[in-house]
Amino acid sequence: MKKKFFGAVLPVLAALLAAALCLCGCSADNGGAESPGSGSGGSSIVADGVDRKIVYTVNMDIEADDVSAVRASLLEDSDAAGGYVEQQNDYGDGDELSRCYIVFRIPTDRLEEFVDGAGELGSVRSKRISSTDITTEYVSASARKAAYEERKAQLEAILQDENLTAADRIAVIDSVAEVNAALQEIELQLTQYDSLVDYSTVRLEIYRANNVWAVVGTIVLILLFVGMFVEGNAAMIILVPLLFPIAMNYGINEVQFLMVIIFNMAIGSLSPPMGTLMFVVCNETKCKLKNFIIESVPFYIVLIVELLALTFIPFLTTGLVDLIY
């Protein structure tokens, strides 16, 4: 039975293999032919003769001894490159800045020069460069603009007909107005695309060179200690207004700082001697407090490791935000 089965199947497999080899040979013969769109009458997603439209975004964190001096140098370099400041936030007392956040728009052809110069003004703690290809969107908008322009020309030619009735003439004029509105919208979109391509975005965060990690570690210990004795919401109402300005002066990211506070409060609410969630769990499960604490030791260790990771590896809390924005 098996021999009959294989005897019937093998010729079919051989025929399929031969057909596949023929197809491969045909595709290999056509390898030197022009791709669609490379010759006259061809078509492709990206039109020929159109340069790639790439939008570049740079995010940098710089540590410097004198934040004010670095800011002044960056503003001068931006003016020299033909760029401008889109957003600027300064933190500190008077002329002595502890932290500065600036968003520059720099001509793309001067981007590398500007970024390299910024890196020489201090210690670069992080640098992220992202690019977005908007060629397809740009070509699509350009094609729609050409179609509307052709439609407008046809409508204007119809208006030249002297035999056109008044009602038809009004209808054609309304159509021309609609086409003009669509053209203006597309032209605005193309202008925005050109602006994004011609001027790259550079987000720079400059902060004073201090022993930031010692400050962060101290804040974590304070939060853990307070969380063991005070309910989480009450602790945050008391501590956030006190600790937030300190964190900002040392250049700690706002998102990271708040994430660390929330995680600290969560650990504190599960920790003796006054962890509120600990008492709730013991009451609902009829578990003795001593047994709860003993069984929770491995979980405490894991939570502390996660807290240290969130505290000393900023990418875990701010990485996704930076990638999106």
Q: Which tens digits make up the pLDDT trace of 206-216? A: 887 766 777 78
Token readout for 279 is: 């008492």
User: pLDDT confidence of 286, banded at 50, 70, 90?
Assistant: confident
SS3 category, 242? helix
What pLDDT is stored for residue 42 in this prediction?
39
Q: Does residue 112 register a pLDDT over 80?
A: yes
What pLDDT is stored for residue 82 in this prediction?
92
What pLDDT is stored for residue 103 in this prediction?
94
Maximum Cα interatomic distance, the chain, rounded to a whole number of Å: 99
Token readout for 48 is: 């020929």
CA 33 to chain centre: 40
Q: Does residue 203 register a pLDDT over 90?
A: yes
CA distance 95 to 188: 40
What is the tens place of the pLDDT at every residue in 248-275?
767 677 888 888 888 888 888 888 887 8
Please check whether residue 253 is in contact with residue 317, taking contact to mean a CB–CB distance below 8 angstroms: yes
Express as a percent the part of the chain with pLDDT over 90: 22
What pLDDT is stored for residue 80 in this prediction?
92
Q: Does residue 3 register a pLDDT over 80?
A: no
| Across 91-95, 155-159, 219-223, least confident range | 91-95
What is the tens place of the pLDDT at every residue in 17-63?
444 434 333 333 333 333 333 333 333 322 344 468 889 999 998 88
| Mean predicted lDDT score pLDDT of the chain | 79
Query: DSSP letter at 35?
Result: P
Kindly state the average pLDDT of the residues 70-83.
91
7, 14, 202 from 3: Cα distances, Å = 6, 16, 71
Alpha helical stretches, state H, the chain: 2-29, 67-81, 111-119, 135-159, 166-198, 212-229, 232-249, 254-269, 276-285, 289-312, 315-324
* Angle (CA) 144 145 151, round 5°: 90
CA distance 202 to 114: 9
Q: Does residue 94 register a pLDDT over 80?
A: no
